[in-house]
Amino acid sequence: MRSYTSAIIIVFCLLAASIVQAIPVRLSKRGTGAAIHVNSASAFCSYLPPNPGENISDTENDAVPFCTSTSLASGSKVFPTGFIKSAHYVSTGTYSQVTGKIDRTKYKLSASDGGGQYDNKDLPKGTCNGYKYFVNLIEPDANVFCIRCCSKSADCNLGVSTYGCQRVVPGNYS
């Protein structure tokens, strides 16, 4: 009886170990973000995947800042030549934003990538124009981008990324 019980315990332990190994565990990497700036249509930053060709939604927690000039954010990269096709700047007393068109091929983004949202929840230590609230969408399939820096959370539409740039950050996308 004792060896039978021991055999059952061993089989149970082996079975439990194989089940635990079969369960995928995704560790959530929370990005640190950067102090980025949106100053004009020719001086701004946006987040992109760390490597060319990566999907936007897969990199929401570890995006890196790309800017028109590296002086706009410490540790940033310059946008690939030709990536930004148009940029339109708007500033009010509570937010600053840039909206426009991109050429996804300049960073090897996929035409089938519906995009995603980088924001202060994904990159909690990041700031935008000194504000702790920001929302930044990249939509490779539509070749559009938007970023808004907000002094109040109510001005940044977080959590509605599936609506896309034109609804989350209304502006000029020509």
pLDDT at 147 over 80: yes
Write out the H or E segment, with its range, that includes residue 15.
Answer: helix 2-22
In a domain, 24, yes or no: no
pLDDT at 144 over 90: yes
Distance between CA atoms of 13 and 112, rounded to whole angstroms? 44
In a domain, 174, yes or no: no
In a domain, 62, yes or no: yes
C-alpha separations of 40 from 43, 44, 78, 97, 148 in Å: 5, 6, 16, 8, 12
In a domain, 98, yes or no: yes
Q: How confident is the model at residue 160 (pLDDT cuts 50, 70, 90)?
A: confident
Q: Which of 9-18, 60-69, 127-136, 149-158 is predicted least confidently? A: 9-18
Q: Does the model's pTM come out above 0.85?
A: no
Using one digit for the tens of pLDDT, what is the confidence trace for 89-124? Answer: 999 999 999 999 999 999 999 999 999 999 998 888
- Amino acid residing at 132: K
Q: What is the 3-state secondary structure (H, E, C) of 139-169?
A: ECCCCEEEEEEECCHHHCCCCCHHHCHHHHC
Query: Of all residues in the chain, what percent carry a pLDDT higher than 70?
Result: 80
pLDDT at 22 over 50: no
Residue 100's domain comprises 35-168
Count of C-beta atoms within a 10 Å radius of residue 89: 18
Distance between CA atoms of 149 and 167, rounded to whole angstroms? 16
In a domain, 12, yes or no: no
Q: Is the dihedral of CA 3, 4, 5, 11 positive or negative?
A: positive
pLDDT at 70 over 90: yes
Q: Is the dihedral of CA 158, 162, 167, 173 positive or negative?
A: positive
CB 82 within 8 Å of CB 106: yes
In a domain, 149, yes or no: yes
In a domain, 20, yes or no: no
Provide the domain count of the chain: 1
What per-residue confidence (pLDDT) applies to 172? Answer: 98
Average pLDDT value over all residues in the chain: 85
Contacts of 154 (CB under 8 A, 6+ apart): none
In a domain, 6, yes or no: no
